[in-house]
Structure 1
Amino acid sequence: MAATVFYLDEIPEPGSIAVLDGPEGRHAATVRRIRVGEPITLSDGKGLLAESEVVAAQKDRLELKVSARVLSAPPAPRVTVVQALPKSDRSELAVELMTEAGADAIVPWQASRCIANWEGKAAKAVDKWRAAARTAARQSRRAYIPDVADLHRTGGILELVRRAKETGAIVAALHESETARFTELPFTQAPEIILIIGPEGGLADSELAAFSEAGADTVLLGPTVLRTSTAAAVALGALGAVTPRW
């Protein structure tokens, strides 16, 4: 893979010319100052990778000749992170870290103890998370950009948990007061994993009870208490070591 990855919705067949414009083209041509002759890996963000070479460069646009394409298999098991909204100054950092650590899907959650409140601005905030996920995926050269869902309330998360459990998924709600350990869960047997990350104030007792009733395992991630913005990345790193994802 070339040292640089950029995203393009439609990647043409080998031998064809791909045009990288818009925000991606502007970043490539103006910010990164990529020039004619440089190799670039293109991705559609859905697993398709293409090797290409720049054949023409303008201020905010590159033309690239595609030489080869390959479909990258998604990591398994699939991991969805249900992320309680962090404080505004750490919100996008949480998305960046979990994207770089390998999250396949991200669900923003308005938990009861969240200091942040997206009331009246959810659409704009979700757009920022999607942009952060795309940028972090490019930085970490991912073939897949994580799906970022619309804002969920607790009722929607419970429905997500119930549906996932019906298909054999493991749902782990992380809580610092639990004694059962995260690494003791049978992750290698699961087709999907859902991680529930509470807010800075922790999961409320009512939320813990509701998640347990819906089939989630409430577990301790490790010996230290982590910020909500970093917990998902740490959990994903642990999963990489105990599942075939790495």
Structure 2
Amino acid sequence: MTLPQHLVPSLDGVRAGDEVTVEGDEAHHAVVVRRLRVGERLTLADGRGRVATGEVTATAKRAFTVAVVAVDDRPEPRPSVTVVQALPKGERGELAVEVLTEIGAARIVPWAAARSVAVWKGERAAKSLARWRATAREAAKQARRAWHPEVLPLATTDEVVALVAGVVGVGGVGGVGGVGGVDVAVVLHEDAAEPLAALALPADGDLLVVVGPEGGLTDDEVARFVAAGAVAVRLGEEVLRTSTAGVAAVAALLAQTPRWGGLTS
């Protein structure tokens, strides 16, 4: 059985034989809720590729200490997948983030599409983004990911168009400027002629998937994304919810790459 994972701010400089103390809410949940005990083996991750395996040597209500027996630096999975997720209504946004994290998305970009029912403004925007980030954090731990995904601030349609076009540093607005150029960008669209499975993918590159809202993409949005370099594709005859379409698309894409045992050249 895979060892449980707990997240720490940094593992820089940590080596086998060192002790690491985990504090705060992370430790409280482990000790009080999960009933972590002395002698239990677990892993610690910093979310940036470094994983330490060790044994618990001491516990308190809001702290526990781990004696590290091994440290592993894992490369970032390739190809990298960024998902632009139109804002769903209710709790479906957290569901989308959860499954996209579990399946291996590197970045999730919330998007205010024209037909998005949910609206992020002011304090609500800050709280909603915080919930998405907390959901990604917990899902990454559950999935035992060495590299945890980024959940970027809310993007406008103009910024998504720039991402599709591979523009680096999109004005700094919305935080999407940190995403670099992409090798393949796809837009999920039920009326598209080309099936997702027909795409030719690089073995090592950057993929971008745009997922529309419950009300569907507008003709203008599709036209702008395609003009910027994206390919409009369909998943199949079924029409999926926005909260599940992204995970289906990412799974279909990764199955064609070495990450999931697909193409090798």
For residue 188 of structure 1, report the CA deviation from its aligned partner: 2.8
- Residue matched to 1:92: 94
| Stretches of structure 1 lacking an aligned partner (at least 5 in a row) | none
Counterpart AA for 1:5:
Q
- Residue matched to 1:107: 109
Aligned pair count reads 246
Partner of 2:130, secondary structure, is helix
Q: CA 1:186–1:53 in structure 2 vs 1: closer, same or farther (change >3 Å)?
A: same
**1:115-154 residue pairs with structure 2 within 5 A?**
115-120=117-122, 121-154=124-157
Please say if residues 168 and 190 of structure 1, whose CA atoms lie closer than 8 Å, have aligned partners that are also in contact: no
Percent identical pairs in the alignment equals 45
**1:48-59 residue pairs with structure 2 within 5 A?**
48-59=50-61
- Residue matched to 1:155: 158
Q: CA 1:89–1:2 in structure 2 vs 1: closer, same or farther (change >3 Å)?
A: closer
Q: 2:63 aligns with which of 56, 61, 64?
A: 61
Measure the CA separation in 1 of the matches of 2:24 and 2:236: 43
**1:189-204 residue pairs with structure 2 within 5 A?**
189=203, 191-204=205-218
Partner of 2:128, secondary structure, is helix
- Residue matched to 2:176: none
- Residue matched to 1:239: 253
Measure the CA separation in 1 of the matches of 2:40 and 2:112: 44
1:8 counterpart = 2:11: no
Report Cα offsets for 1:191-234 as digits up to 9, x if no partner: 11000000011111000000011011000012211100011111
- Residue matched to 2:189: 175
Q: Which moved more, 1:132-141 or 1:86-95?
A: 86-95
What is the RMSD of the two structures over their aligned residues, measured on CA atoms?
1.6
Please say if residues 78 and 204 of structure 2, whose CA atoms lie closer than 8 Å, have aligned partners that are also in contact: no
TM-score (norm 1): 0.96
| Stretches of structure 2 lacking an aligned partner (at least 5 in a row) | 169-179, 261-265
Report Cα offsets for 1:124-163 as digits up to 9, x if no partner: 2111111000000011111111001010010111111112
Report Cα offsets for 1:74-113 as digits up to 9, x if no partner: 2111000000001122111110011011111000000000
- Residue matched to 2:78: 76
Measure the CA separation in 2 of the matches of 1:190 and 1:20: 35
Measure the CA separation in 1 of the matches of 2:244 and 2:186: 16
For residue 58 of structure 1, report the CA deviation from its aligned partner: 1.0
Please say if residues 107 and 151 of structure 1, whose CA atoms lie closer than 8 Å, have aligned partners that are also in contact: yes
For residue 235 of structure 1, report the CA deviation from its aligned partner: 1.2
Measure the CA separation in 2 of the matches of 1:167 and 1:115: 29
